[in-house]
Structure 1
Amino acid sequence: MLRAVVLLLISVAVGLTVGELDHGYKGYHIYEVTPKTLEQSQLLHQLSLDGYDFIKEGRLLGHSSRVIVSPAQFERFVKLVKSEQIAYTLLNENLGASIDEELALLKLQRRMNPITGKGRLSTERYYTHEEILNYIDDLAVRYPSRVFVKTVGWSYERRALKTITITNGDQRKGKKLIFVDGGFHAREWISPAAVLYIIDQLVEQFEQNADLLKDYDWIILPVVNPDGYEHTQTGTLARMWRKTRQPYGACYGADPNRNFDFHWNEEGASSSACADTYAGPTAFSEPETIVVRDLMHSLSDRGVMYLTLHSYGNYLLYPWGWTSDLPDTWEDLDEVARTGAEAIENATGTVYTYGSSTNVLYIAAGASDDYGFYAGFNVSITMELSGAGSIGFNPPVTRIDEFVTETWIGIRAMAEKIIEKY
C-alpha cells in the first residue's frame, strides 16, 4: 500500500500516468543463486549463454550471482534450480515496478534541481552525459593550468566523447600517467558517478591528493558508451540496456567490452546481434571502442595503469580475461589489486575479491582490460563496484556517496602502489 502511494505521488509530481509507471519488465523476477559445486557453477554459466540476463555473475563457489528471469523463463528456471539443488532466493518479484520508481525519482530530481553546468556536482543523483560534459568543461575554465578537456571522438549517435586531463600544473613533458574510463555498459550508472568522484578528488580536492599528481598525470574518459547510457534513462523498457546503439539488422548495439581486437569473439562473447554479449560484426566495429583503442595506443608510452570502472560485484580483476592462464607479470598485477582490496576492507569492512578475470569471474574475450595490457600498460584492472538493492547497477541515490567514497579509497591506494612501484 505504501509503495502504491509513493508511486502515485511521484507520478503526479513528474507528470506521469499510473499506466506509464506500470509497463515493461512487469512480472520479471530477480533471483540470487549460489553454486556450491563446480557442476552448479557451470550450469549457471550455461544459462547466461542461453539468454538469461545475469546482472551479477561469478564462478567462485559460494559466491552468489543474480539473474533476471522473465515470466516466460520462470517455470524452467525454478524447475532447474530445484532439481539441481542450487540455493536460490527471490530478491525482486517485479523488476518493472522498481525501475518505474527509479526513473520517476530521477525525473523529479532533475526537474526540482536542474544543473547549470557551473560548480561542483553533488553525489545526490545520477547525471546525464551532457551534464557530465558541461561539468568537465567548467573545470577546464576554472582550473586552466591544471585541467585540459579534449574531444577525442564521437559516438554512433554523434555524442562527443571527451577526456579530461588532470595535472598539477607543472607542465613537465613525458610524465607517467594513469588512464581511467567508465560507462562501458549502459545500465551501470554508478560507474560514471564513481568517475566523477575521482575527478572531484583530483581537481577540487587537489591539496589532499597532490601526491597522486606529482609525477603522474591522469587522463579520464567519463562515459565510453554515451548512446547506451542516455538510452537507459528514456524509459522502463530501456533501463536494463547494456550495449551500444548502432543498428545490426533487427537488433541494436554491440557489447563494447567484447569488441576489442585481442582474442576477439572467442569464448565469453556472442556472434548473435541480439545477445547482450554480442562482439560486433568485426573487432572495433563500434566508434566508441575505436576511441578507447586509439587513446590506449597514444598513451601507452607513458601509461602505467589502465583502470576501467564497471558494476557490480565487488571485484578487482586483472588479465587475462580470454584464458585462465596468467600473464608473466601477474604477481605485480595481483599486488596492486590486493592493495586496493585491503584498503577498502580496512576502511569500510567491504570485501573485494581480486584475481584474474577468468579465474575469479568468468571468461570474457575481447575486453578492454586485456587490450590495455596488450597495448603496453604495466597494470590493467577492471573494478566491479559495490552494488545495493536488487538491481545493483544503480545504488539508491541515498547511497551514491557511500559507494563512490568507498571506491575512491581503493583507487587511491592502488595509485599509491603504482607510484611506489613504477
Structure 2
Amino acid sequence: MKTTFIILNFIVLVSSIVNYKDYSKFTVSIRDKYDLRAFEQFHKFYGDKVDYWHRTRIIGRPVIFAANGEIKDDIEKMLMALYLDYEVTTKSWQDLLVEKGKRRKRYVKGGKIDLGKYYSYNESIQYLQYLESKNKDIMKIEDLGVTVNGRVIKYVTFGYDLGVQKPTVIIETGLHGREWITYSSVLIFIDNLVKKKDKYHYLFKKINIIIIPNANPDGYEHSREHDRLWRGNRNLRKNSCGVDLNRNFDHQWNNKISECIVYPGDYPNSERETIGLIDLVKKNLKYVKGYLSVHSYGRYIIYPWNHKKETYTKDHREMVKLAEEMINNIGEKTNTSYTHNTGANLFYDSYGCGIDYMKSLGVKYTYALELAPSEGPFIGFLVKETSIPSVAEEFDAAVLPFLNKIYEEV
C-alpha cells in the first residue's frame, strides 16, 4: 500500500476548536414497536438539540446520539418518562475528537505515501495528480467546481479512450465532512485501479468510471482542524452548521427542516458542491448508468426512495437484486454483514437526497453505501487508521459487482 511520492505537511495549531469536554453519548435500545413510537416523540421534542450518529426504524437496533452536558439530565428524564431503555456515557471526548488541537506532521520518509493513514484534502489531490502523471492512458483529473472557501473540487475519470463517451458509473464520496473513512477507502480503490489495471482492463475498455474522491473538501478540512464531528459544508450565511449537502438536492426537498445539522439550504440545488455534481451527471446523462454515494457508518446499502417509508421505485426488484449481489460479495470477501433497504425503512424519512435525485433524472442504478463504523464502543465515525485497509476491502467488494452490472448491460 506504499508508492513513491513526496508529501510535505506542516503542523497546524488549531484555534477555535469545538469543545466536547462534557458531551454525553446516549445509546437507546429499540425493543419493540412501542419503543419506535416513543422515540419518535423524543425526536419531535429535541430536534437539533442532539446530534444523531445512528437512527433506526428496525427493532433490535439502537439509536445513538450525543448531547452536551447542559441538557443531559433533561434528556434522561424524558427517556425514563417514555420507558425507553438506554445507556449513557459521559466523558471528555476531547482527545479523541481533536487530537489535542493539532494535526499530525506528515513527513513521509523516502518519498512514500502510506494509504493506511488519513491525509488532508490537498495531500490526497497531490497524490492523485502524481498517479495521473504516470497513468495518462487510463486516468484524467478535471475540476468539478469551487467551494465557498476557495477549494477546487476534483473528479477523476478512468477508462481507455478518455474523452470518448461510453456507459458511465459515477462514484461520489464525502458529502459529509466527518466521514473520513470514505475518503481513505476511495483513495485506496483508486490506487488499486491504477496498480492493478490489468485486472480492470475489461472495464476500462467498455465503460468510464468517474470518481469524486471528496465532494465536500471544506467540511472535511473543518472536521480535521476545528470540529471532528462537522457534517455540512461551510456555507454559513444563514446557518451555523452549514448545509447538509445530502438534503440539498431537488427531489422531495423540504424547506420545513429546522434542525441545524441537517439544514437543507435556502432552496434546492443551492450549493456549489451540489451544483457541480448535478452538472456532471446532466452533462453525461445519456451515458450515466450507475451512481454510488459513499458514506459512513453502519454497513448498509441504501436505495430510493428515501423520503417516505415503504415507498419504492418501479424497478425495485432489480435494485434489490443488485444490492444483494453486492452484499453477498462483501460477505464472501470480507466475512462481514451488510443490510439493504430504503433509508426511510431503515432509519427515518430523508428529503433532498442525492441518490433519489439521480434516480429521478433517469439514472438506473443509484445507491448509497454506508461503510463500517469504528470497532470501539464510542464514536462510529472515528475509524482508527489501523482499520482503514479492512474497511477499504469492504468498499472494494461492494463496488465490483456494481461495476460489473453496468459492464454486463452495455
Asked if these proteins are the same fold (TM beyond 0.5), I'd say yes
| 1:420 to partner: Cα distance | 2.9
What is residue 153 of structure 1 aligned with on the other side?
145
What is residue 298 of structure 2 aligned with on the other side?
313
Counterpart residue identity of residue 236, structure 2: P
Report whether the alignment pairs 1:400 with 2:388: yes
What is residue 257 of structure 1 aligned with on the other side?
246
Q: Provide the aligned C-alpha RMSD in A.
A: 2.6
Matched residue of 2:127: which SS?
helix
| 1:331 to partner: Cα distance | 0.9
Distance 1:23 1:334 in 2: 41
Matched residue of 2:224: which SS?
coil
> Structure 1, residues 343-396: CA drift from partner, whole Å, max 9, x if none?
112232311110112112221110100011111211100011111132212301
Pairing partner for 2:361 from 362, 368, 375: 375
* Count of residues in correspondence between the two structures: 395
Distance 1:281 1:138 in 2: 38
Counterpart residue identity of residue 202, structure 2: D
Residues 111/322 of structure 1: CA separation in 2 closer, same or farther (3 Å cut): same
Matched residue of 2:175: which SS?
coil
Distance 1:115 1:47 in 2: 54
Counterpart residue identity of residue 77, structure 2: K
Residues 44/96 of structure 1: CA separation in 2 closer, same or farther (3 Å cut): farther
Taking the TM superposition and a 5 Å limit, the aligned residue runs for 1:113-262 are 113=108, 121-167=113-159, 169-171=160-162, 173-235=164-226, 238-249=227-238, 251-262=240-251
Counterpart residue identity of residue 304, structure 1: K
Retained in 2: the 8 A contact 1:301–1:376?
A: no
Report whether the alignment pairs 1:385 with 2:371: yes
Structure 2 regions of 5+ residues with no counterpart? 1-10
Retained in 1: the 8 A contact 2:246–2:353?
A: yes
Retained in 1: the 8 A contact 2:94–2:100?
A: no
Pairing partner for 1:340 from 305, 314, 326: 326
Q: Percent identity?
A: 27
Distance 1:175 1:48 in 2: 46
| 1:248 to partner: Cα distance | 2.3
Distance 2:131 2:13 in 1: 35
What is residue 409 of structure 1 aligned with on the other side?
397
Residues 48/146 of structure 1: CA separation in 2 closer, same or farther (3 Å cut): farther
Taking the TM superposition and a 5 Å limit, the aligned residue runs for 1:89-104 are 89-90=87-88, 93-101=91-99, 104=102
What is residue 75 of structure 2 aligned with on the other side?
77
| 1:408 to partner: Cα distance | 1.0
Retained in 2: the 8 A contact 1:25–1:96?
A: yes
Matched residue of 2:225: which SS?
coil
Distance 1:179 1:103 in 2: 36
Retained in 2: the 8 A contact 1:254–1:279?
A: yes
Counterpart residue identity of residue 407, structure 2: I
Distance 1:385 1:365 in 2: 21
Retained in 1: the 8 A contact 2:251–2:356?
A: yes
Distance 1:61 1:115 in 2: 52
Distance 1:21 1:271 in 2: 25
Distance 2:163 2:239 in 1: 51
Counterpart residue identity of residue 239, structure 1: R
Distance 1:22 1:290 in 2: 30
Q: What TM-score do you get using the length of structure 2 for normalisation?
A: 0.89
> Structure 1, residues 112-152: CA drift from partner, whole Å, max 9, x if none?
43896xx7x43321111111211222222111111011112
Distance 1:124 1:82 in 2: 43
Q: Which moved more, 1:328-337 or 1:47-56?
A: 47-56
